Structure 1
C-alpha cells in the first residue's frame, strides 16, 4: 500500500538468553481478590514449538541426518499402524511417529494427560502442508527432522517461561501489527538474507508489517491495550518502592506501550471532529491505499467498504448540504464537514426491519436510510426536482423507499445497488455530510507522521477518512478501555501526559454516555439522524412483540410467533442479554470515570444505572429504556433457545421440533439446529463473537459493583455464559470466572494455563489439519455451519483465531500440499488473546510467574 509506514523487528534466538534478559519479579500477586480462597497457579518454563522450514533440495539441509523409515512402535499393535511411515524413540524416551496424515509426538511423562500425544500437521509443522511423512531423524536434543516430498522441517521444543513469550509477542506487535498505535491482524513479510531456510526465530531474520484498517480497530486495540496496562501495573507494583535499574526500564517500556495503544483507542472518539462523543470504527489517512478512490476525488468509488467520511476543513470548506438536526450543536459553528465516501455499503445497505410491530417508516429499518427529520431538514435547502424521498430516493423493498447516504443516477428510484461509475464529472445525486466542530487535540499528534501535521500544529484533518456506523462491539471495547486506563494506568497525575490522557478519557466517557442517553433514545446516533446499525440499547429493540408471543400456545415450546404463525421475534431479541450488560457497564464506568471532572452528570448516570435493577423489563408500549435490564441479562440461555427453536420451526415447515427429522444426518446445513432444538442444547446456537463481547461488561461490572445483591445478579448472568465457555478452556474466560467467584477453589485454572503454554509463539494464520482420529465430530453449529470437534483442540493444533470464533469449528477443509509454499509472507494476528489474560491473571493473583 502506498505510503504505508512499515515497522521492523530483527528476531533473536529463543533460548535462555531471552528469558534471562527479562527481569523476573520476586513478589507474588499484586492484588488479592476480596474473598479469594483459590491457590494461584505457579507457572513454569514449558516447551514451545519452533519450526525451521527447508524447501526440498535446499542445500542447507544437514547432510549427516540419520533418516529412518522404521515403523516399529512397541506400545501399539500392528493392526492399527498401517498408515505409519517412520518412527523412533529419542534419548528422552519420547516417540516421534510419522504417518501418511501427519506427525505425532508421544511422551508418557507429560504431567497433563492431554499433552501425552501431540499432533503436528499442516503447513505450520510440515513443509507446505504435505502431511505424508516419508522419513524422520532425531536431532539428538529432543527435536525431530521430518521429511516429506515437498520439503523438510526441523521441529524443536525449547522451554520458555510465559513471561519470556510475552517479550516475543510485544516485539511482533510492534513489527507487524501496529498501525499508529492500533493493533489488529496484519500482513507480514519475513526476510533472512543469511539463511535459505525460514526460521522465524533466526537471529538474522526480520519481520516487516503492512497493517491496514480493520472493521473493529478500537475493540482489538482495546484488548491489546488492556494487557499492556496490566503489564505496567504488575511490573510496577511488584517492583515496589525501590525498583532496580532493569525493573525501571521494564516498567517504562510497559507504560509507553500501554499509553500508545490506549491513546490510539481514545483517538477514535475524537477523529471525526463531531465533538459529541461519536466513536469511529476506524480511520485512514488519505495517503493509504485503502483510502484511494477510482478518480482520486471524493466522488469516485472507494473499494474499502463501509460508511466512510472524508473530513474537509478550512476557509474553503463549504458544506453542500444543510445540517441534519441531530448533528447540530447549539452555540457552535462548524469548522468544516465530513463528506460520505461512495462505497457499496453507502449506496446499498438497506438492512432489515427491526420491529415485528412493523411499518415502512425508515426508523423501522436496520439500514443506512436517513431519518425523516433529517430528510425534511435537508430538503428545506434543496430546489424542487431534487427533493430527497420524492425525486431522489432508493427502493429497498416493495413500496418502501429510503434515502441512503449515496444515491446516484443509476440507483435513483431503483433498487439499492453498487455504482462504481461515479466521478468528479459524474457526481452522485446526493452525498450525505456531517458537520465538523472541532480540531483533533494535539495530544494525539505523536501517533501521526510529520506529514500529517498541519502548519497550525494540529493534525491535518483534510487527510482523515474515518469509518462511521460504529457497532456495539466498538463501544463495548471503548468503555472497557476507559475504565481500565482510568483505574490502572492513570496512577500518576504528576506525569503531564498521563494527566492529559486522564482528562480526555473522562471527557470522552462523559460525551459518549450523554450521546447514548440523549433524548432517552439509548443508541449511538450517526450522521443519518438514526442509530448506527448495531449500537442499540433501547428496550423496544429487544422486546417488541414479546407480549404477542407469550399469548400464543407455541410459546410453551419456546417458539415465538404471532397469531398467524409468523416469526414475531424482534430483530434484537437475542442481543438483549448481552446489550443489557453492555449498557449497565457503560453507565457504571461513566459514574466512576466522570465523577471528578463531570459531577453535574452523576445524578443522571446513577439514576439510569439504578433503573436496570428496578423491576422487570418492558414487553410492550410504552417501553421504558433501561428498566429491569438485569432480568434481561439473566435471560441469556432462554433467549438462545427461543431463537434456535424459531429457526428450527421455520426449517421444519412451521412445525414444532418434537422429533428427529426423517433423514437427518447431523451435518446438513439446513438441519443444523434441529438436533440442538430437540434436546434443548443452546450451546449449538452460540454466537462466539457475542461471547467475547460479553466478557468486557462483566469484567467492568464485577470490579466496580460493591452492592452484594447487585453483584450476585451480575455474576449469575455471567454464569450462564460460562456454562459454554468452560469447555473452551480459554484463560480469557476462565480467569474472569475466577474473578467473579474468588471463593471457588474448583475452577479449572490448570486447563486455562495449559492454553497459554500451548499457544503458538508466532500467531501466523496457517491452515490446520482436522482430519484426525483422536476426535469425534458433532453437527455443525447453527451460526457458522461448520463441523465441530467434540473437545477444544490445543491452540497449537488448530487454526489461529481470535476469541470471537468458534474454537471447536473445523475452519479448514482439505488442502493441497504445496512444495512452493511461501513462508516469507502471510497474515499474523495480534497476541492479545495471550497477553491480556496473562497480565490480568498476574495482576489479580490468579497465576504466579516462575522464579
Structure 2
C-alpha cells in the first residue's frame, strides 16, 4: 500500500544555510521580466521582524532566567483610567512596550517605520497558550521578544529578523516534504513531533508528519503553486544564481506542472476532460463500505473507478456508450470506469438554470443524465429496467408537476423517490443503475514518476485499476489549468535542448489542444462530462449568462436594477452574475490556446483566435438565438453592475416584490435577507462579494494582460479588471496588487508597500488557528451576504493577526466564537496552509521587477 506520509525537520538556521540563494558578489537581484516602458519603480525589500512562537503547557520546565513582571508600572504613556484591563506591562531595552491584558497582548513600538505597525495585537491560540487570553505575567527575553504567561501555559514570542525570501524557503521546504501529494500541493493536516528533550512546541525543533489528502480543486491549488515555481526558476536563471538552486526550482516547477497535466489524462477518455482530482484505491478516502464498487464511498463528489481489462459483466464491451462519450473512429475502449456510490452521485440534482427552462433535465445544473444519454442506454436495457421510465429519481416539483432525473446512481431506495443519500448498497444489494464510461487510453508513461512503484503495472504503464478520479469539474480547474499552460509554455519550457522540458512542452500543447476542442465542440462552450451534458459549473455559453435579459430590460423594475419578467417574478438566469468572470475565463483560455498551439496545430490555433476575436465583435446576445462568445468583452465589463442587479433582485424578493427605497425598507431579522436589503439601500456591492470568484478572476486577467498586444483591446481588458480591483485594493494582497501593477505599468502610485507589508507580516508557519477579533482598533460592520453569522471588519488586519487562509476567503470576516480556553490545546495536530499565498506573488513580483531583494 502506498504510504503518502512525509517527514521534514526544520532546525533553526540549518534550513537557511541549506537553501540560501547565492549570487555573485555585489550583484543585486534584478528585474528579469520588467515590461518595456514600465514606469513603476522596483520596491526594495528588507529584513523585518517576524514573530516566532513556542508553546509550553502549564507545569513544564521553563528557563530559570525568566523574570516575571506582574505589575504595570512601566506603562507610563497611558492614563490609569484607560488601563483597567491591563494585568502587566514591561518596557524592554529597545524601548518597546509589551502590554498584557485580560484580552491578550499588545506590542507598542513608537519607532516603527509604518504607523500601522506601531500597535500590534496578539491573542488567540496563535499567541496565547490554548487561547487563554488572560495574561498573568510578562518577561523580556533580552533579544526583542517576550515571554507571556497565562493560567493555561506560557508562550515565547521571538522577533526574528527575516526577509520574505527567508520565509519562502520555509514554505518551499514544507510544500515539498509535507504538503506534496504526488506533485499536488494544498493545505494539509500534520502531526508534529518535538525533538527529544524539548519541553515545549517549537516548530523549528522537531519533525512534521503528514498524510496529504485529495482536495476539491487539486488542479487549481497546484496550478497556483506551479506558476510561482516557474517564476522562481526563471528569476534565478536570469539572475545567474547557483545552478543547484536553478535546478531545484526547475524540479519543483516541473513536478507540479506534471501533476496538473496528469488531471487532463487521468480519466482515460482521450478527449481533454480535466479531472478535479484523483486518488489511488489504497488511500483511505477511496475506500468503500464493502471494499468494491457497489459499496458507499464517504468521500463526497462525482468519482469514477477505472476497470481496465476486467471481464466483469458490468463493464462488458456490450454495455452501451452514451453518444457524447463515443469516439468517431474505430478505436475500441480498453476498459470502463464505473461511478462510485456517493452522496453526490445519488442526489446532486442541481438548481434550475433558466426561468424559462421548464422541467427538462438540461435546465438543471446537477449531474443528472441528458435525454440523449438516457435514450442510448435504453437501447439495450430490458423492459422493466428502462431509465427515465422504470428507473428514475424525483428531484423537484414545478408548478405541481413532479420532475424526475436519471442520476448516475439510482438505488432501490431512491428509485422513483426523492433523491437522497443511500449507504445501504453492496454486491448483494447493488444499485439499479450505475453509470459507466469508456476508457480509451492508458495514462502516458511520462507521468510514471509521480507514482509509487506499486502503482506501475507489469506493462510499464500506471495500473489504471488503482485510479479513482473526480469528475464534475468546475471552471475553477479550467481557469487554473489554462493559466498554468500559458506560464509553462512561455516561461518554463524555454530550453529546446532540454529533453525533459521539450517533452513537457509537448504535453502542455496536447492538453491545451484537447481541452479547447472539448469546450468548442458543437459550439457547446462547456466542459462535457460523462452524463452527456455540461458539468455543474464549467459553462461559458451565452444563454447561461443572459437568458431573458432582453425581456427583463423592457420591464419598469430594470431601472432600479431589479430583473423580473412581465409578472414581476425573479427572471435572472442562474448564471447571470457569473457572466463577467466566465467571459474573461473563456477569452483567456482561447487566447492561451491560440498561443500554445500555434506551432503544432496552426489551423486550430487560427480557429481559437477567431473565437477569441468574437469577444470584441459587437454586443453580446440577450435573446434567442444566442451567439456564444460574441461581445463577451462587454459582458466582462459588467462585474459591478451584475452584482448590484443580483442583490437588488434578492432584496426585491425579500421585500415581497417591492423595490427597496429609503422610505419602505424593513429588516426581517434574517441575515442574508437583511444584507441584501441594506446593501441595495446603500448601493454597496462589496457586501455581496464572492471571494472565491475574486481569486478566480486573477487567472484570466493574468493571461490576457501578458498576451494581448493590441492597445485598444488590452485597455478594455484592463477596464474589466479595474472593477474587481475596486474591492481588492483594500485587501492589500500582493496576489492582486502585483497583477494590477502589470495591468498598469505606467502607474507609479500603486500601493506596493502595503502588498509587501502583507508578506512581511505573514507567519512563517501557516498553521490554521482561530483568531481573536475583540479589539478596539476596528469597527464591526454588517455580515457579508455569504458569511452567515460572522461580522466583518472595516479593514483587513495584518496577516499575522487574523486566520490563515487561501486567497478565496473573506479577509474582513471575523471568527467570533471559534475557540474557547483549552489548557490541553493540541498544537501537534492541526492543518497547515500552503505557502503558495506568498510564493506565487513573491516570485512573480521579483520576475517582473515589482519587488527586489537588494543583495
TM-score (normalizing by structure 1): 0.97
2:210 matched residue in structure 1: 209
User: Out of 780, 793, 796, which is 2:797 matched to?
Assistant: 793
1:644-793 residue pairs with structure 2 within 5 A?
644-659=647-662, 664=667, 668-785=671-788, 786-793=790-797
1:328 matched residue in structure 2: 326
SS of aligned partner of 2:189? strand
1:174-197: CA deviation from partner (whole Å, max 9, x where unpaired): 232100000011110111232443
> Does structure 2 conserve the Cα–Cα contact (< 8 Å) formed by 1:19 and 1:160?
no
**In 2, Cα distance between the equivalents of 1:666 and 1:799?**
28
1:320-370: CA deviation from partner (whole Å, max 9, x where unpaired): 731010000122211011100000100000111111112111111111110
**In 1, Cα distance between the equivalents of 2:797 and 2:580?**
29
Does residue 81 of the first structure (1) align with residue 80 of the second (2)?
no
1:45 matched residue in structure 2: 47
**In 1, Cα distance between the equivalents of 2:48 and 2:145?**
14
- Residue 17 of structure 1 and its aligned partner are, at CA, apart by 5.5
When residues 206 and 15 of structure 1 are mapped into structure 2, their CA distance, relative to the original with a 3 A threshold, is closer
**In 2, Cα distance between the equivalents of 1:312 and 1:512?**
24
**In 1, Cα distance between the equivalents of 2:107 and 2:18?**
26
**In 2, Cα distance between the equivalents of 1:105 and 1:633?**
45
1:366-445 residue pairs with structure 2 within 5 A?
366-398=365-397, 399-445=402-448
**In 2, Cα distance between the equivalents of 1:602 and 1:192?**
55
SS of aligned partner of 1:494? coil
- Residue 3 of structure 1 and its aligned partner are, at CA, apart by 4.2
Does residue 564 of the first structure (1) align with residue 567 of the second (2)?
yes
**In 2, Cα distance between the equivalents of 1:132 and 1:665?**
38
- Residue 653 of structure 1 and its aligned partner are, at CA, apart by 1.9
2:126 matched residue in structure 1: 124
2:529 matched residue in structure 1: 526
**In 2, Cα distance between the equivalents of 1:826 and 1:378?**
47
SS of aligned partner of 1:228? helix
**In 2, Cα distance between the equivalents of 1:104 and 1:293?**
51
2:356 matched residue in structure 1: 357
2:152 matched residue in structure 1: 150
SS of aligned partner of 1:48? strand
**In 2, Cα distance between the equivalents of 1:807 and 1:761?**
19
> Does structure 2 conserve the Cα–Cα contact (< 8 Å) formed by 1:176 and 1:828?
no
Length, aligned pairs only? 842
**In 1, Cα distance between the equivalents of 2:460 and 2:580?**
46
1:200-599 residue pairs with structure 2 within 5 A?
200-202=202-204, 204-239=205-240, 247-314=242-309, 316=311, 318-319=316-317, 321-331=319-329, 332-398=331-397, 399-599=402-602
1:787-825: CA deviation from partner (whole Å, max 9, x where unpaired): 100000001000111100110001342521111011111
> Does structure 2 conserve the Cα–Cα contact (< 8 Å) formed by 1:15 and 1:158?
no
- Residue 661 of structure 1 and its aligned partner are, at CA, apart by 6.4
> Does structure 2 conserve the Cα–Cα contact (< 8 Å) formed by 1:666 and 1:780?
no
> Does structure 1 conserve the Cα–Cα contact (< 8 Å) formed by 2:8 and 2:174?
yes
> Does structure 2 conserve the Cα–Cα contact (< 8 Å) formed by 1:45 and 1:850?
no
> Does structure 2 conserve the Cα–Cα contact (< 8 Å) formed by 1:99 and 1:133?
yes
- Residue 664 of structure 1 and its aligned partner are, at CA, apart by 4.5
**In 1, Cα distance between the equivalents of 2:831 and 2:326?**
43
- Residue 443 of structure 1 and its aligned partner are, at CA, apart by 0.3
- Residue 319 of structure 1 and its aligned partner are, at CA, apart by 4.7
> Does structure 1 conserve the Cα–Cα contact (< 8 Å) formed by 2:378 and 2:387?
yes
**In 2, Cα distance between the equivalents of 1:366 and 1:801?**
29
Name the Cα RMSD after superposition: 1.5
SS of aligned partner of 1:524? strand
**In 1, Cα distance between the equivalents of 2:817 and 2:310?**
57
1:64 matched residue in structure 2: 65
> Does structure 2 conserve the Cα–Cα contact (< 8 Å) formed by 1:58 and 1:196?
no
Comparing 179-188 and 34-43, the one that deviates more:
34-43
> Does structure 2 conserve the Cα–Cα contact (< 8 Å) formed by 1:612 and 1:627?
yes
1:130-186: CA deviation from partner (whole Å, max 9, x where unpaired): 000000001011000000000000000110111111111111112321000000111
**In 1, Cα distance between the equivalents of 2:471 and 2:605?**
28
1:165-180 residue pairs with structure 2 within 5 A?
165-180=167-182
1:91 matched residue in structure 2: 93
**In 1, Cα distance between the equivalents of 2:123 and 2:196?**
27
Does residue 4 of the first structure (1) align with residue 3 of the second (2)?
yes
When residues 103 and 501 of structure 1 are mapped into structure 2, their CA distance, relative to the original with a 3 A threshold, is same
> Does structure 1 conserve the Cα–Cα contact (< 8 Å) formed by 2:475 and 2:538?
yes
**In 2, Cα distance between the equivalents of 1:665 and 1:49?**
44
TM-score (normalizing by structure 2): 0.97
> Does structure 2 conserve the Cα–Cα contact (< 8 Å) formed by 1:175 and 1:208?
no
**In 2, Cα distance between the equivalents of 1:545 and 1:611?**
21
When residues 238 and 22 of structure 1 are mapped into structure 2, their CA distance, relative to the original with a 3 A threshold, is closer
1:846 matched residue in structure 2: 850
SS of aligned partner of 1:104? strand
- Residue 673 of structure 1 and its aligned partner are, at CA, apart by 2.0
- Residue 660 of structure 1 and its aligned partner are, at CA, apart by 7.0
**In 1, Cα distance between the equivalents of 2:663 and 2:851?**
46
When residues 19 and 438 of structure 1 are mapped into structure 2, their CA distance, relative to the original with a 3 A threshold, is closer
**In 2, Cα distance between the equivalents of 1:85 and 1:9?**
39
> Does structure 2 conserve the Cα–Cα contact (< 8 Å) formed by 1:661 and 1:674?
no
> Does structure 2 conserve the Cα–Cα contact (< 8 Å) formed by 1:161 and 1:850?
no
